[in-house]
């Protein structure tokens, strides 16, 4: 993977996050699932179909319940995938691992506004390559500024 492709895909994920219906109790997040060559297989964003939808969950679900990733697949997410969740039984980290995704790239580590997230650490511990691109985190914070005020 190239750094330029990672950045372009993260910018696309951040653009998707701007489509999220506003919420005072959840982050606005965008996600893409790609192949090794950068072909986008699916996209998703928080609350796309249901108020409890997470972006990574929606993008993976769009591929079908039986879809399994090749080890060269990547999930791009504007925010670190969740590792704690009260609205559904499986976290985005668990869904990514169950699908067999080999790589996750995100821009902003989830702040401890709602939960203490350990998505990056859990993914790495399971052998997933995790890449953080923190210089794009400011754009993600801007999308979620309504949660950060105060």
Asked whether the predicted pLDDT for residue 43 surpasses 80, the reply is yes
Range of the domain at 132: 3-145
Q: Which two tokens stand for residue 15?
A: 């653009």
| CATH code assigned at 48 | 3.40.140.10
Tokens 């067999």 belong to 100
E-assigned strand segments in 21-112: 30-34, 40-45, 74-79, 103-108
Q: Does 139 map to a domain?
A: yes
The mean predicted confidence, pLDDT, of the chain is: 90
Q: Is residue 150 part of a domain?
A: no
Nearest to 33 by CA among 4, 67, 2: 67
Rounded to an integer, what distance in angstroms lies between the CA atom of residue 77 and that of residue 35?
15
Catalytic residue among 56, 80, 94, 139: 56
pLDDT digits (tens, 9 = 90+) for 88-99: 778 999 999 999
> Looking at the 3D structure of the chain, how many domains does it have?
1
Active site residue 56: yes
| Within a domain: 60 | yes
- What's the whole-number mean pLDDT along residues 30-34? 97
pLDDT in tens, 105-148: 999 987 765 556 788 999 999 999 999 999 999 999 999 998 88
In percent, the amount of the chain with pLDDT more than 70 equals 95
- The confidence score (pLDDT) of residue 85 equals 73
Reported as a pLDDT band with limits 50, 70 and 90, residue 19 is very high
The enclosing H or E element of 124 equals helix 119-125
The CA-based dihedral angle spanning residues 47, 52, 57, 61, taken in that order and rounded to the nearest 10 degrees = -80
d(CA 132, CA 107): 6
């Amino acid at each position: 993977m190239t750094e330029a492709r990672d950045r372009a895909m993260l910018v696309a994920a951040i653009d998707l996050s701007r489509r999220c219906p506003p919420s005072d109790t959840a982050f606005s997040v965008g996600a893409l699932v790609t192949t090794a060559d950068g072909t986008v297989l699916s996209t998703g964003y928080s609350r796309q179909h249901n108020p409890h939808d997470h972006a990574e969950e929606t993008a993976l679900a769009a591929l079908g319940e039986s879809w399994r990733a090749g080890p060269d697949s990547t999930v791009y997410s504007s925010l670190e995938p969740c590792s704690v969740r009260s609205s559904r039984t499986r976290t985005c980290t668990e869904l990514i691992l169950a699908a067999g995704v080999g790589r996750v790239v995100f821009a902003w580590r989830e702040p401890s506004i709602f939960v203490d997230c350990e998505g990056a650490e859990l993914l790495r511990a399971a052998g997933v390559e995790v890449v953080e691109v923190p210089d794009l985190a400011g754009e993600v914070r801007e999308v979620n500024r309504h949660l950060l005020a105060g």
